[in-house]
Amino acid sequence: MRDHVLAELRQIRDHAAALESAMRDHVVMRDHALGELGQIRDHAGALLEALDNHHESSTSAPTMPSVPSATSPTLFAPPAEQAPFHRSGSTTGLNQVEPPAGWDIQQGWEPPLRRALSATAPPARIRPPDPPRPAVQVESLTKVYRTVRAVDQLSFALTPGTVTGFLGANGAGKTTTLRLLLGLAQPTSGKALVFGRRYSELQRPTTQVGAVLESNDFHPWRSGRNHLRALAHAAGIPADRIAEVLEIVELSGAADRPVGGYSLGMRQRLGLASALLGDPKLLILDEPANGLDPVGVHWLRNFIRGFAELGRTVLVSSHVLAEVAQTVDRVVIIHRGRLMADARLDEVAGPGESLEAAYLRLTGGGRQ
């Protein structure tokens, strides 16, 4: 009996916590739902604690053991009102949760448990939480330059928290797609959305998206620090963030030198620092490993993995398949502007097949 109750209570508590977490992004009725769910979670936690304490202090019993008296000061304060759940001021301290009024220990645990279970069912007026919004959503995206269809009816979406490789040969339409996504170019038709909106419609876009499209987007006479300062001013980012991002990309020592004297690896890192200024949730990198030496590639790989481990999303365009295979969770493969594959890395390649072989199979040899 006790084990059964414990299991059910744990279920209630976990369910409530999960619902509470999901509801945080839900605007309609969020406060109300959060209040109720918080009560459920706290109450379930209190019950569990009571049971655990009881288990430690009591001897074995064939049926539901007696629990400490409701008047005992160590666990429960005297009942004050006839409310099913009453939570004291703090939302975090389970020890401060008072027992439900009218709690009758001798009658067992059934009534409050049923009440708790019924309370966990979402009220009819509360819609279930929406599925997570894609970090990137591309729908029937098409870009035509005079007679050339650079991107042709391209559709894919990125799940938050993943590292996705955006693969294709030179001229396949990768960079054009990224420019469309970032609002630098206008699509001929279709949609390219970031967190459900066009890039130009994002509020403070640098706090949501960081992007590096070219490794050389700097004035050669300007220092790395001043480059970042200018971007920080333009984006409304506090100046103290500059030292942080320089530290992250390990460029603090060279920050005051003109960028013209930087190596390619240093420029790549300065580009990353620019993208990280707003502490974004999504990072878009176009051929970031181009021209990097093995140390630079290793650093970049660790950086991307570390970024994704924070629960953030990365879209990395590349044609260096061996490198991509070590870094990404998913791949989106395009060829002549069209989608060839959008799947997990292990789904794209067959058993024993390398990513390169799968890529060549999907793109018919990979030539444009």
> Are the C-beta atoms of 343 and 313 separated by less than 8 Å?
no
- State the nearest-atom distance from the C-beta of 110 to other proteins, in Å: 59
221 touches other proteins (CB under 8 A): yes
Which of 50, 97, 167, 182 is close enough to bind other proteins by CB under 8 A? 182
Structure tokens at 194: 């970031």
Judged by beta carbon, residue 45 or residue 265, the one nearer other proteins is 265
- Count of H helices and E strands in the chain? 11, 9
- State the nearest-atom distance from the C-beta of 34 to other proteins, in Å: 34
183 touches other proteins (CB under 8 A): yes
Please name every residue paired with 164 in a beta bridge, in sequence order, or none if there are none.
Answer: 315, 330
Residues between 234 and 263 that touch other proteins (CB under 8 A): 234-236
Judged by beta carbon, residue 185 or residue 332, the one nearer other proteins is 185
Q: Is the dihedral of CA 169, 170, 173, 176 positive or negative?
A: positive
Calpha distance 353→203 (Å, rounded): 43
CB atoms within 10 A of CB 118: 8
- State the nearest-atom distance from the C-beta of 120 to other proteins, in Å: 44
Pairing of strands 330-335, 163-167: parallel
- State the nearest-atom distance from the C-beta of 114 to other proteins, in Å: 54
144 touches other proteins (CB under 8 A): no
Judged by beta carbon, residue 198 or residue 361, the one nearer other proteins is 198
195 touches other proteins (CB under 8 A): no
**What angle is formed at CA 276 by the lines to CA 274 and CA 264, rounded to 5 degrees?**
50
> Are the C-beta atoms of 8 and 47 separated by less than 8 Å?
no
CA 140 from centroid of its chain's CA atoms: 25
In order of 116, 185, 222, 270, the CA distances from 262 in angstroms are 63, 29, 11, 9
> Are the C-beta atoms of 158 and 336 separated by less than 8 Å?
no
Structure tokens at 177: 């797609």
The region of 15-23, 62-70, 151-159, 196-204 touching other proteins under the rule CB under 8 A is: 196-204
The per-residue DSSP string of 251-298 comes to -GGGTTSBGGG--HHHHHHHHHHHHHTT--SEEEEESTTTT--HHHHH
70 touches other proteins (CB under 8 A): no
Binding track, positions 271-310, relative to other proteins; x by CB under 8 A: ---x--x---------------------------------
Judged by beta carbon, residue 114 or residue 233, the one nearer other proteins is 233
What radius of gyration, in Å, describes the C-alpha atoms of the chain?
28
Judged by beta carbon, residue 53 or residue 188, the one nearer other proteins is 188
185 touches other proteins (CB under 8 A): yes
Judged by beta carbon, residue 267 or residue 335, the one nearer other proteins is 267
Which of 222, 241, 338, 361 is close enough to bind other proteins by CB under 8 A? 222
Judged by beta carbon, residue 11 or residue 200, the one nearer other proteins is 200
Which of 216, 290, 302, 326 is close enough to bind other proteins by CB under 8 A? 216
Where does this chain bind other proteins (CB under 8 A)? 179, 182-186, 199-200, 202, 205-206, 209, 211, 213-214, 216-223, 226-227, 229-231, 233-236, 274, 277
